[in-house]
Amino acid sequence: MKQVILREGKAVVEEVPAPSAGPGRVLVRTGFSVLSAGTERAAMLSGDPPAIWRSAADPSRVRRAFEILREEGPSGLLERLRERDAEGASAPGYAASGIVHGVGPGVSDLPPGTRVACAGAGYACHSEWISVPRNLVVAVPAEMALEEAAFTTLGAIALQGVRRSGIQIGEVAVVLGLGLIGNLGARILRAAGARVLGFDIDPARAARVRSLGMEAFSLASGDPLEEVPRATAGLLADAVLVYAASKGPEAVNLAMRLCRKKGKVVIVGDVGLEIDRRLMYEKELDLLISTSYGPGRYDPLYEERGIDYPAPYVRWTENRNMAAFLGLLRDGRVEVRPLIDLTFPLDDAAAAYEALGREGPDRPLGIVLRYAGGAGGPEPPAAAAGSPGGARRAGRDAAPRAACGQMIEALLGQRDDIGVGVCGAGAFVKSVHLPALRRASGFALRAVATASPLNARETARRWGAPGAAAGLQEILDDPACHLVLIGTRHNLHAAQAGAALRRGKHVFVEKPLCLEEGELGPLLEAARAARRLLAVGFNRRYSPLAVRAREVLSRRSGPSLAIYRVNAGALPPGHWARDPVEGGGRVLGECCHFADLLLFLLREPLVGVEARALPSDGVSVVSGDSFAALLEFGGGSRAVLAYTGLGDPALPKERLEIFRQGTALVLDDFRTLAVFGAPGESLDLGRHDKGIAGQWEAIGRALRGAPSAVITLDEIEATMRATFRLDRAVRGER
């Protein structure tokens, strides 16, 4: 499909894979989309400097750069910076309309053929096909043109500002900034029964509002400090809504001067907030912020998972604001057609953005992109419908051959590369796994599929895949993809790994394998039934230091005492990894690594766990982020795992000490292994190696039937069950 992409301030139309309707999503064939004269123009004009300069200007990025340099060396830091620069392309747009083609699980009220308006940056992009969460989609009345409905997102932003003002019939509202959203705000205020006075630096914009019968002035022709007192007989405005964009504090301070005592100032645009306290204090003003489309904005539970706020308690949400604006359009109380200055077909998007960047009196206000087939055109590309397709079908089918340690059948011959399809290309996959795959022998990246079509296309291009895929289904349908690398959010791992195994693919899934213990058994059985490799990203066992430590311990008898300290670092509030549904929390999401390494080194089954977490204060200490656990193993060994998110990041992350029969081993952050009591066994790598490279080499050997230390199904089961047991203990459950 075609999509508009901004790269270094230039708009281009390129081919990317079509999205699919995932759970809670609506797949829409786009009819029209609106360019934002504020947000998109700013993005186009700013561009992005190289990652090295962005990092140098941000102290937190500088610290992180030194951490990467310490852990991964100069080549690792260079790879990260290259990856950041490769991500310079963006998919603009957040206001569109079209026709529903399909829906994912959990959506039942928008059947195919429904005409809809869609919202959301990253969702309602300038693209022929868009996949949008249900709460960001509203049905369009039958009598309304889709071209007008495309303004719904912008109208909802304007409407939320009006709601925050609490304006009533007969009151006076001042609008500062008469751009597209400010113009819509003025129209909504008038529809609400307010007297509207508008001001803008652009005389043409003021004239457009005057043509509607409202009072509007350019700052050159009318001083707000004179016009507002004159129009209100000295009372001043009941509410001032700031739709303008300004880096300085002038707009907000002007708004306070124009507001009557006990009035309201509502900030909708991006303005500086260095307020004059005296003005605010003397008038006892209310200063309010209006957040985009309304309640629900930036809440992943609402926007991404579709959990609505109950109307009796939150009357106007994002979705309900969108529907209310469509109601104003339907009833003729607000019009948007007079705001459409230019309409371009999608293929001429570059010209549309060029017009958006104009300066002067001929600068357009409303620019619309029109899409072929958006009013009910041809079927989507085969990939979007979930059928075999697309962008890459090169590569050779390979016949099953040798067996490996898990009784799998190799799909590969001795001369063929292992075709890898990537499902989920987030930061970790792109900065860690894909570089390792490139360096490993015998692998060929065949396809990349992510939730973002642009990310899929850019990642495929960056790492040399023949093309991007529309989704996991297309990877599974491709005989050239022998192994599926699953790097999506944790809650998707089990279903995607199971689907790949059932289609006869080998699977490498990033940790954890699953978030529910009940999912574990069926996945292991699927791997055995398919006779395919299932590997999980417990990479530490493949580190050269871990391998050496295991060899040293194997030459000593008796139980061990281990002390494992993990300075994990803090996660920001609301981070998805903390979410018990999406990420599973930090124990399931990360501590599986440490359980696996202990099981690998001690070679004893886990038989008991006791744990105590620090009491949560909801701020610096969050339940599960900091705890101490005592792990009991079948051969009498004991391990203390101290895990915390409270430490300073300058302290190396991991330190493991193991004591057995007169020998002490100290594994220091996977850089050095000091062995006391066994001369000549210590090892200093001179670099940071957590086993990612060794993991991929082991997988490659296993798939070719060669001797390999790749993790077995029994070991995967032992690690996951130990992790579930640890998670229950940390949460205080038995």
| CATH number reported for the structural domain that contains residue 233 in this entry | 3.40.50.720
Instruction: Look at residue 400 and tell me if it is in a domain.
Output: no
In this predicted structure, what is the pLDDT of residue 227? Answer: 95
Say yes or no: 166 and 133 in one domain: no
Residue closest to 665 by CA, chosen among 524, 590, 521, 560: 560
Residue closest to 18 by CA, chosen among 90, 101, 107: 101
Say yes or no: 622 and 486 in one domain: no
Cβ atoms of 614 and 732 closer than 8 Å? no
Cα separation of the two ends of the chain:
52
Tokens matching residue 366: 């409303």
Say yes or no: 675 and 623 in one domain: yes
Cβ atoms of 18 and 378 closer than 8 Å? no
Domain boundary among 533, 556, 579: 533
CA-CA distance, 409 to 506, in Å (whole number)? 9
Domain boundary among 290, 311, 346: 290
| CATH number reported for the structural domain that contains residue 557 in this entry | 3.30.360.10
Q: How many domains does the chain fold into?
A: 4
Say yes or no: 499 and 571 in one domain: no
Cβ atoms of 609 and 733 closer than 8 Å? no
Say yes or no: 529 and 615 in one domain: no
Contacts of 558 (CB under 8 A, 6+ apart): 636, 660, 661
β pairing state of 195-200 and 606-613? unpaired
Tens digits of per-residue pLDDT, 136-160? 999 999 999 999 999 999 999 999 9
β pairing state of 366-370 and 467-468? unpaired
Say yes or no: 111 and 158 in one domain: no
Strand partners, 72: none
| CATH number reported for the structural domain that contains residue 95 in this entry | 3.90.180.10
CA-CA distance, 231 to 236, in Å (whole number)? 8
Instruction: Look at residue 571 and tell me if it is in a domain.
Output: yes
Tens digits of per-residue pLDDT, 384-406? 333 323 333 333 233 222 334 34
Cβ atoms of 328 and 336 closer than 8 Å? no
Residue for token pair 């570059």: 350
CA-CA distance, 181 to 167, in Å (whole number)? 17
Say yes or no: 522 and 549 in one domain: no
Say yes or no: 584 and 551 in one domain: yes
Say yes or no: 139 and 185 in one domain: no
Instruction: Look at residue 703 and tell me if it is in a domain.
Output: no
Instruction: Look at residue 617 and tell me if it is in a domain.
Output: yes
Task: Report cis status (omega within 30 of 0) of the bond before 435.
Answer: no
Instruction: Look at residue 721 and tell me if it is in a domain.
Output: no
In this predicted structure, what is the pLDDT of residue 39? Answer: 72
Tens digits of per-residue pLDDT, 204-248? 999 989 988 889 999 988 899 999 999 999 999 999 999 998 888
CA distances from 64 to 151, 438, 520 (A): 41, 24, 36
In this predicted structure, what is the pLDDT of residue 396? Answer: 28
CA-CA distance, 101 to 241, in Å (whole number)? 39
Say yes or no: 144 and 13 in one domain: yes
- As averages over each run of 10 residues, the pLDDT of the chain (734 residues) reads 90 92 94 86 58 49 58 57 62 96 94 97 95 97 95 98 97 96 96 96 91 88 93 96 92 96 96 91 96 94 94 97 98 94 95 88 90 60 37 31 38 66 95 94 94 92 92 94 97 97 97 97 97 97 98 96 95 86 94 98 97 84 86 97 94 97 97 95 94 97 94 98 97 84
In this predicted structure, what is the pLDDT of residue 395? Answer: 32
Range of the domain at 262: 153-290
Residue closest to 210 by CA, chosen among 192, 198, 225: 198
| Helix axis angle, 250-258 to 224-231, nearest 10° | 20
Instruction: Look at residue 303 and tell me if it is in a domain.
Output: no
In this predicted structure, what is the pLDDT of residue 58? Answer: 52
Residue type, 1: M
Tens digits of per-residue pLDDT, 318-337? 999 999 999 999 999 999 99
Residue closest to 690 by CA, chosen among 508, 571, 570, 537: 537
Instruction: Look at residue 316 and tell me if it is in a domain.
Output: no
Say yes or no: 654 and 553 in one domain: yes
In this predicted structure, what is the pLDDT of residue 505? Answer: 97
Instruction: Look at residue 381 and tell me if it is in a domain.
Output: no
Say yes or no: 93 and 108 in one domain: yes
